[in-house]
A and B are shown apart, each in its own frame.
Chain A
Amino acid sequence: MMKAAVVVFPGSNCDRDLAVAFEQAGFDVSMVWHKDSQLPEAVDIVGVPGGFSYGDYLRCGAIAAQSPICQAVVAHAERGGYALGVCNGFQILTETGVLPGALLRNAGLKYICRTVDLTVATSDSAFTQGYNAGDVIGVPIAHHDGNYYADDATVAALQDQDRIAFTYVDNPNGSVADIAGILSGNRRVLGMMPHPERAADEGHGGTDGVAMFRALSGLLTDA
């Protein structure tokens, strides 16, 4: 069975939702505490969940990025392991340098919590192969600091390398190039502000996130 680990920081609040989404796709999921310095053995994918790790002190994700478990997550990613960072998890992955850029305060300054339409910008990744490029999916966002920023050269590189995974149909937060989610250079790490784990069950009001977890599960089974 494929193994997923979900990191829990003080202030994480989407950790269990993310774990359930992995479980429903067939993963064996373990929760990992921020003070742990090692991931469980033979973990296929690490989930870095949404929330307000360490109260968002200093900058969103800045303190979490320095935690013992994050060093293990960075090492896992550097070894070619898979990782999914959602919302605060995306902020954390940019703070660690695993993903480029940074998340700024929303351009409209307001916290935004609603379902938005995303365009699947590439199907060429383990995360997005269950969609077709150009598909529009509905996924909830819930963030105050989701305004993706990277310098022009970085954005051009993301575009040239087909590493933009999702874009907003109607940009809610000022993100450069409407970016909602990006992939690492080896396409095995995805960071995104929208919450696919909140669109993973009929009870959520939408199931457009399910294809991501199913695709991951299928890929890792075949591997």
Chain B
Amino acid sequence: MKARVHVMLKNGVLDPQGEAVRHALGALGFDKVEGVRQGKVIDLDLTEGATEADVKDMCEKLLANTVIESYQIEMA
């Protein structure tokens, strides 16, 4: 059983790394990029019976800092 967690900075929180990537893309001539937000993907191998609620608990306690980050969970 697997879960994938996407962690992103919340809207409204400045993402300087995403901004730097946007600038670099512009410098390479990619002129169709209006914005870049950079986040992280965390893959979890879970034991059978683990639920989305378990993963949500992990996100709230450790995987995301909900002061600045939002998260999305995909169970597979």
Contacts and interface: CB of A to CB of B under 8 A. Distances in A.
Interface string A87-123: 0000000110000111011111100000000000000
Contacts of B16: 104-109, 147, 174
B17 interface: yes
A174 B14 CA distance: 10
A149 B43 CA distance: 27
Contact of A109 (B9, B20, B65): B20
B33 interface: no
A59 interface: yes
A147 B16 CA distance: 10
A106 B15 CA distance: 10
A62 interface: yes
Contacts of A100: 67
Nearest to B9: A104
A95 B65 contact: yes
A66 interface: yes
B50 to A, nearest CB: 19
A58 interface: yes
Interface string A160-182: 00000000000000100000000
Nearest to B64: A59
Given A94-B67, A104-B68, A149 B13 contact: yes
Interface residues of B, number: 12
Interface string B11-24: 00110110010000
Contact of B68 (A66, A102, A108, A174): A102
A172 B65 CA distance: 24
B3 interface: no
A160 to B, nearest CB: 19
Interface of B: 9, 13-14, 16-17, 20, 61-63, 65, 67-68
Given A66-B61, A149-B14, 19 more contacts: A59-B65, A62-B65, A94-B67, A95-B65, A101-B67, A102-B65, A104-B9, A104-B13, A104-B16, A104-B68, A105-B16, A106-B16, A108-B16, A109-B16, A109-B17, A147-B14, A147-B16, A149-B13, A149-B68
29 contacts: A58-B62, A58-B63, A59-B65, A62-B65, A66-B61, A66-B62, A94-B67, A95-B65, A100-B67, A101-B67, A102-B65, A102-B67, A102-B68, A104-B9, A104-B13, A104-B14, A104-B16, A105-B16, A105-B17, A106-B16, A107-B14, A107-B16, A108-B16, A109-B17, A109-B20, A147-B14, A147-B16, A149-B67, A174-B16
Interface of A: 58-59, 62, 66, 94-95, 100-102, 104-109, 147, 149-150, 174
